[in-house]
Amino acid sequence: MLDRKEIKEILPRREPFLLLDQVSELEPGKRARGLYYVDPGASWFAGHFPNYPVFPGVLQIEALAQLGAVAILCQEEMAGKLALFAGLDEVKFRRQVRPGETLELEVEIIKARKSFGLGQGRGAVSGEPAFQGLLKFALAEGGRR
């Protein structure tokens, strides 16, 4: 299990854009499970939406991408790389994610090469599906460890 401190040793993201609190399962280069607590005090809720706060879908996908990046970048041969979005396919949102909920994330790496890969993932709240999608990523120099 990895906590935020250990996640930061793999990912170059920092607050307020680190959207992963814990990695509970990790099979390097293959799959991962993790959690993100949706903090009711987060600044985006002031505008999304003022009287009906909803965790933005693009940030849900970003949280999943960060989990996928941990699964790829934790491998020694990937040290110093940066995982970047290359595309999204078949993304479907099933339920709203609200402040105070914990997003349960799961990603499986379908294909990974030296500079490109695919991951299939999903998010849920209390076991109820929230979203799913196919993530395409590119690997570039520029990460830090």
Q: What is the spatial distance between Cα 31 and Cα 84, in angstroms, rounded to a whole number?
A: 18
Please give the structure tokens belonging to residue 36. 């993100």
Active-site option among 8, 13, 33, 48? 48
How many other β-carbons are positioned within 10 Å of the β-carbon of residue 115?
11
Query: Phi and psi of 15, rounded to 5°?
Result: -60, 140
DSSP letters, 62-120, are: HHHHHHHHHHHHTSGGGTTEEEEEEEEEEEEE-S---TT-EEEEEEEEEEE-SSEEEEE
**Is 48 one of the annotated active-site residues of the chain?**
yes
Closest CA to 122 of 69, 70, 48, 61: 61
Residues designated as active site: 48
